[in-house]
Amino acid sequence: MESAFRGHLEKELDDMLKPESIDKIVNYSKVFPLKSVEDFSFGVIIGFILTATIAEAEMRYGRNATDEEMMEALNIAYRRAMEIKGAIKYAMGK
């Protein structure tokens, strides 16, 4: 994945981790009868990253994202997993 593509995904994730975005995700998650709002919210964010990868490949290259691009998106999420979980826990504690 080229650095501009990766940078775009990092920025999208940064935007998702802003307090107002995380608060919305956590609050919407509380509507459902879930065992874990935290895990559900984490899944929503991972899904968003994967969706952003698909959309970015389509816009940039006019094609579907490759398996390698999808794996790199997951690697970004993996690398930042503790940051994501921390933002969710903070929002849940409000």
Residue pLDDT, tens place only, 70-80 = 999 999 999 99
Q: What does the pLDDT read at residue 65?
A: 93
Q: What's the rounded mean pLDDT across residues 75-90?
A: 94
* pLDDT band at residue 8 under the 50/70/90 scheme: confident
pLDDT in tens, 11-27: 999 999 999 999 999 99
Say what the pTM is: 0.86
Q: ∠ at Cα 6 (38, 77), nearest 5°? A: 20
Q: What does the pLDDT read at residue 45?
A: 94
pLDDT at 10 > cutoff 80: yes
Instruction: Provide the number of structural domains found in the chain.
Output: 1
| Cβ 88 vs Cβ 26: under 8 Å | yes
In terms of residue numbers, what domain contains 19?
3-92
- d(CA 74, CA 37) in angstroms, rounded, equals 21
- d(CA 38, CA 26) in angstroms, rounded, equals 8
